Structure 1
Amino acid sequence: MTTRELRDRLSEVLGRAMYGGERIGVTRNGKLAAVVVSVGDLQALEDFEMRQDVEAYRKAKASDDGERISAAELRHDLAT
């Protein structure tokens, strides 16, 4: 659906996403620009991302050797 179509049919599109669970792609200049999704889909995505973040944190914490460097050392290492 183009942005022009979205403007003309916004109420219908919102209903399709809210009640029908549809995911509606919106294009601009022929390229996908956005997707209209239900709140439930958004919450599921955010929950998924949070689970991934927690898992990554746990892995990083488990492999942490406790060694630290200063910000100055980090800058030096990045510059070389």
Structure 2
Amino acid sequence: MDTVTFEITTRDLRGQLSDVVSRAMYAGERIGVTRNGKLAAVLVGPADLEALEEYEMAQDAAAYREAKAEDDGTRVKLDELRADLDA
């Protein structure tokens, strides 16, 4: 991940948790947590999480608007759909 600014192992995280949380919270760093040499999690501050949630909401709203614009009003009954899927 290109946006991870620092990586720490789960073992080292145990002893440095307070410092790592502060780095994410106050410095805005994205801390990668590794286990067995592989990225297992990323610790981000609240501002990054809020930005991610806003982005997801904007994507969802755009997808809804697009689907609504493409809706031709045709509806299919559930048993018809099941019959088509079984065929």
Residue in structure 1 matched with residue 86 of structure 2 by the alignment:
79
Q: What's the CA shift for 1:78?
A: 2.3
Partner amino acid, structure 2, of 1:18: M
Tell me, which stretches of 5 or more residues in structure 1 are unaligned? none
1:28 to 35, 58, 61: 35
Partner of 2:76: 69
Residue aligning to 1:39: 46
What is the one-letter code of the residue matched to 1:45? L
Aligned to 1:10: 17
Provide the secondary structure at the position in 2 that maps to 1:54: helix
Consecutive unaligned residues of structure 2, counting only runs of 5 or more, are 1-7
CA separation in 1, counterparts of 2:28 and 2:55? 18
- Structure that is richer in helix per residue: 1
Give the AA of the match of 2:11: R
For residues 6-62 of structure 1, give each alpha carbon's deviation from its aligned partner in whole angstroms, at most 9, with x where no partner exists: 111000000000000000000111111100000000000000000000000000001
Give every structure 1 segment of 4 or more consecutive aligned residues whose post-TM-superposition deviation is greater than 3 Å. Answer: none
Aligned-pair Cα RMSD in Å: 0.9
Give the share of equivalent positions with the same residue, in percent.
Answer: 65
